[in-house]
């Protein structure tokens, strides 16, 4: 099976490009920030600089691990589902589920390892740029020299490769099951994320307005609530579709296809909800913090500067990574539908109607995910704002929310429509024949 995995990688490398890109970006982010640990450990680095660098590496390292797993998991899930006919043929030829798991996991490990190696160069450049940001803001002394060492290298490989192996194992395990899983583990994770997230958000009221750690409970609580909402999203989407009156051929096809593919779109739903929640919550809370410091008339401390820089950098990474993850998932899922589009056209649908269907699907997905992500973000923003300023809503909150929604809608609709338009260039008969 390992030989078959290597043969598959050599024969059809294109099918693994989405996974390779996710692993590459994830490893680059992880190594970029963990190189701050290597830099902080250099001889002669003062304690303030070392603390600033170590804090950045520790906080973003946790975010990075979560994002890498979800990114690789979403692309691998789409990849395994697209190869359903191939996997079934191998099973009919005598391959056991264990052999199929070894094949898919072997492919994932090879791709993740390749992505990690390719990410070393960009991670070095990114680490140098990040150190310059900290030095320009006065959080790190100018005398500190950059170092890319074993902590960065081992963390990049040690997180990306196991994440890819675990995601591949879960994806192929689900694909090779003959009986439909009961979903007990998913239900447990959903309620656990919602429960712990709600408790974290409520704990915000136990802090004082001047507490340095005030932002941590609502931020992490909002993230956990968004994860719980993302796990519930397929079920909520199906319930919404049952009550959604969309007229016309495009609307009918959009509702029918989304209801059938709701579980397959879990990667897209997760990306959109996480992006909306984390970007809205982090930027809004940082705006509240900045306004509170400006109103006090006290200059920003090193800790306050560290927090602001860290939040802005984290949001920037989240925006880029979630957008790439979303584009990857949407591109792979839409490209895979070439046969479906061809069958619809042979049945009488025009290319315009098919594009209209894809656009309607994108709007429904965007509205659903923005709603769930906004609710999770709001659950963190309101307690933080109440404790920090005694008001319920930040002054800049609405403008930040509109900006986040605009990015989410542009990425979702743009990727779906551009990919679908490109796919529709193939004649309908050829699309059905080649994908068969």
Measuring CA to CA, how many Å separate 110 from each of 27, 160, 408, 435?
A: 14, 11, 32, 26
Distance CA 37, CA 287 (A): 28
**Predicted confidence (pLDDT) at residue 263 exceeds the cutoff of 50:** yes
Per-residue pLDDT tens over the stretch 298-331: 777 777 777 777 777 767 776 777 777 777 777 7
**Predicted confidence (pLDDT) at residue 9 exceeds the cutoff of 60:** no
Distance CA 281, CA 374 (A): 8
**Predicted confidence (pLDDT) at residue 96 exceeds the cutoff of 60:** yes
Measuring CA to CA, how many Å separate 236 from each of 77, 227, 239?
A: 20, 14, 5
> Which is nearest to 169 in space by CA: 224, 105, 117?
105
Distance CA 67, CA 61 (A): 10
- Mean of the per-residue pLDDT values of the chain: 81
**Predicted confidence (pLDDT) at residue 221 exceeds the cutoff of 70:** yes
Contact assessment for residue 391 and residue 295, using Cβ atoms and an 8 Å cutoff: no
Instruction: Specify the pLDDT at position 360.
Output: 87
Distance CA 68, CA 63 (A): 9
Phi, psi of 310 (to 5 degrees): -65, -45
Quote the percentage of the chain above a pLDDT of 70: 86
Instruction: Specify the pLDDT at position 61.
Output: 64
Instruction: Specify the pLDDT at position 2.
Output: 46
Distance CA 337, CA 422 (A): 12
pTM: predicted TM-score of the whole model, two decimal places: 0.79
CA angle (201, 206, 208) in 5-degree steps: 110
């Amino acid at each position: 099976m390992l030989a078959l995995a290597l043969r598959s990688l050599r024969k059809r490398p294109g099918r693994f490009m989405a996974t390779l890109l996710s692993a590459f970006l994830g490893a680059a982010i992880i190594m970029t920030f963990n190189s701050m640990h290597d830099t902080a450990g250099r001889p002669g680095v003062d304690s303030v600089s070392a603390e600033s660098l170590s804090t950045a590496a520790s906080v973003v390292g946790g975010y990075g691990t979560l994002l890498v797993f979800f990114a690789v998991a979403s692309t691998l899930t789409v990849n395994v589902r697209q190869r359903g006919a191939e996997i079934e043929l191998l099973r009919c030829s005598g391959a056991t589920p264990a052999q199929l798991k070894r094949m898919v996991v072997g492919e994932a490990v090879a791709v993740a390892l390749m992505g990690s190696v390719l990410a070393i160069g960009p991670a070095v450049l990114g680490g140098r740029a990040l150190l310059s940001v900290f030095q320009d803001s006065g959080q790190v002394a100018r005398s500190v020299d950059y170092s890319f060492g074993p902590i960065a290298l081992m963390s990049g490989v040690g997180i990306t490769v196991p994440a890819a192996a675990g995601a591949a194992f879960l994806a192929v395990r689900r694909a090779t099951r003959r009986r439909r899983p009961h979903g007990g583990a998913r239900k447990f994770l959903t309620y656990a994320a919602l429960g712990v997230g709600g408790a974290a958000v409520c704990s915000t009221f136990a802090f004082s307005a001047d507490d340095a750690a005030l932002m941590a409970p609502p931020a992490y609580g909002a993230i956990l609530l968004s994860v719980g909402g993302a796990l519930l999203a397929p079920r909520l989407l199906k319930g919404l579709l049952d009550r959604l009156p969309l007229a016309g051929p495009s609307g009918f096809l959009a509702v029918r296809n989304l209801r059938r593919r709701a579980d397959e779109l879990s990667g897209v739903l997760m990306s959109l909800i996480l992006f909306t929640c984390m970007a809205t919550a982090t930027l809004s809370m940082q705006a509240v913090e900045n306004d509170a410091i400006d109103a006090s008339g006290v200059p920003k401390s090193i800790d306050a500067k560290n927090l602001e820089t860290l939040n802005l950098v984290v949001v920037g990474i989240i925006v880029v990574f979630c957008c790439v993850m979303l584009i990857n998932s949407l591109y792979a899922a839409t490209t895979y539908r070439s046969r479906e589009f061809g069958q619809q056209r042979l049945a009488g649908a025009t290319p315009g109607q098919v594009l209209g269907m894809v656009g309607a699907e994108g709007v429904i997905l965007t509205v659903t995910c923005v709603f769930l992500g906004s609710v999770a973000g709001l659950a963190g923003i309101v307690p933080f704002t109440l404790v920090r300023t005694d008001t319920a809503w930040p002054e800049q909150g609405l403008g930040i929310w509109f900006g986040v929604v605009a990015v989410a809608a542009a990425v979702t609709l743009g990727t779906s429509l551009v990919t679908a338009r490109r796919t529709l260039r193939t004649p309908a008969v050829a699309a059905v024949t080649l994908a068969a």
